[in-house]
Amino acid sequence: SLRQKKKLTIRWKHYIIVYRCFVNIHADKSGKGDKKIMKFHSFLIKYGEIGIKGKNRYLFEDALVRQMRFALKDVDGSFYVHKSYGRVYVDCDGDYDYEETVESLKRVFGIVGICPVVRLEDRGFEQLKKDVAAYIGEMYPDKNKTFKVEARRSRKSYPKTSMEINCDLGEVILETYPEMKVDVHHPDIRLNVEVREEIYLFSEIIPGPGGMPVGTNGSAMLLLSGGIDSPVAGYMVSKRGVELEATYFHAPPYTSERAKEKVVDLAKLVSKYAGPIKLHVVNFTDIQLYIYEKCPHEELTIIMRRYMMKIAEHFAKKDGCLGMITGESIGQVASQTMQSLAATNAVCTLPVYRPLIGFDKREIVEISEKIDTYETSIQPFEDCCTIFVAKHPVTKPNLERIEKSELNLSEKIDELVQQAIDTVEIIKVK
Ligand code: ATP
Ligand code: MG
């Protein structure tokens, strides 16, 4: 799968770095350089800064730090996520799993780039020159590259200015590796040198997922089925910083315990990006049977969908969610024509977000593979919607007709809805 391929690539890159470090210790080019293994001690986190000035910046950064801590909680190693000098860092003390750390950070919305950092104790400028040459030597076996040094001093008492550091270190690199050339406009390698208490070197940027940290944009209720679409829909809205809750409707004994477990598994996979999800599992059997008994069968799906929306909205409002999310896309099935969407939408007062509305199935599948929900979504378990489904459902429902059919349901439906609400099972997914 795509994920395994990516994992392999990262593992491969990591091994190359480890291998190079190993070779370097033994080759010891400088003849008297110290024998410390160069490893990445920290990650500098780059995030988009547009629109996050002033007070928003703090909210954004605090949420980012919180989500990063959550993402790293199960990773091997001990991590210290912190803000300093207007930047966000992860310090990795002792041994840690590099590959897993990067994989986890790549799932934190708001991160645009992840830079692995080598931290050096400040032992004078002469030592720094050697360390920088060694760093370039290890990181870039192919020296046929252009570069630029970009120094930044957070510690202003350092004896050299940023310009002097740029020039002097540039000179060392040119002397050590004559194949390399300086290009200040479009260098292949941008070597960042940050002078703080320690000295930070970094030059690689691993792309992050972008978006905004979860928790910076309120919360919304996802209608989560066991299909391909709704987990992707949840992912997309949460990417914009929205915290998720979810509601799943099942119909035991027509749907199995295993079908429910599949939905819990999907919620878990989405929560790797979105953070903890409060999942509401609603028993929909009696409502479904009652609608089946009282309403025209070709309208069953639409009427069921309307009751799903009503019930999910009840839980949404109760918890202060500001909207609902579905995985609908125009024309995908009979219940997702423009007329059907209008009929379903009519029961809600909260805005309903449908982030996949203009996507083809193929495009949705692509995202579900990328976020690793696809394999779980295609496991074959029955869905409560499909059990009583008519052979020829209405594709252009008329709202008035639907509302008229619903009159057949009398007050008993309100009791059943209340009963479904009262017997909800809440699962905290994380
Ligand atoms: P999905 O792949 O997300 O199941 P779908 O293509 O099967 O979507 P439908 O079954 O018509 O399409 O469902 C449309 C949307 O309604 C889903 O994306 C989901 O948001 C919601 N939904 C459908 N069934 C359920 C369910 N059993 N529980 C909760 N939400 C549901
Ligand atoms: Mg479905």
pLDDT score at 34: 34
Give the residue ranges of DSSP H helices in 143-280. Answer: 162-176, 229-238, 257-274
pLDDT score at 54: 76
Q: Which atom of ligand 1 is nearest to the CA of 282?
A: 28
Distance (Å) from CA 110 to ligand 1 centroid: 28
Say if residues 298 and 394 touch (Cβ distance below 8 Å). Answer: yes
pLDDT score at 10: 55
Whose tokens are 């392999």? That residue is: 8
pLDDT score at 7: 58
Give the residue ranges of DSSP H helices in 324-411. Answer: 338-345, 361-370, 374-377, 384-387, 399-407
- Length of the chain counted residue by residue: 430
Nearest to 315 by CA among 235, 418, 251, 221: 221
Per-residue tokens: 326: 């579905």
Q: How far is the CA of 65 from the CAs of 49, 74, 139, 224, 371, in angstroms?
A: 15, 16, 28, 28, 22
pTM: 0.85
Query: Can you name the residues that pair with 282 across neighbouring β-strands?
Result: 249
223, 303, 325, best to mutate for ligand 1 pocket (most atoms within 8 Å of CB): 223
221, 229, 336, best to mutate for ligand 1 pocket (most atoms within 8 Å of CB): 229
Distance (Å) from CA 247 to ligand 2 centroid: 13
pLDDT score at 427: 98
In degrees, rounded to 5, the angle at the alpha carbon of residue 253 between the alpha carbons of residues 251 and 258 is: 85
Distance (Å) from CA 93 to ligand 1 centroid: 44
In degrees, rounded to 5, the angle at the alpha carbon of residue 102 between the alpha carbons of residues 429 and 35 is: 140
Q: Give 30-37 contacts, CB < 8 A, sequence gap 24+.
A: 30/130, 30/133, 30/134, 33/130, 33/134
Ligand index nearest the alpha carbon of residue 345:
1
Distance (Å) from CA 189 to ligand 1 centroid: 47
pLDDT score at 382: 78
CB atoms within 10 A of CB 305: 23
Residue minimizing CA distance to atom 16 of ligand 1: 326
Low-confidence stretches of the chain (pLDDT beneath 70): 1-38, 49-51, 53, 385, 387
Mean per-residue pLDDT over the chain, rounded: 90
Give the residue ranges of DSSP H helices in 295-360. Answer: 300-318, 338-345
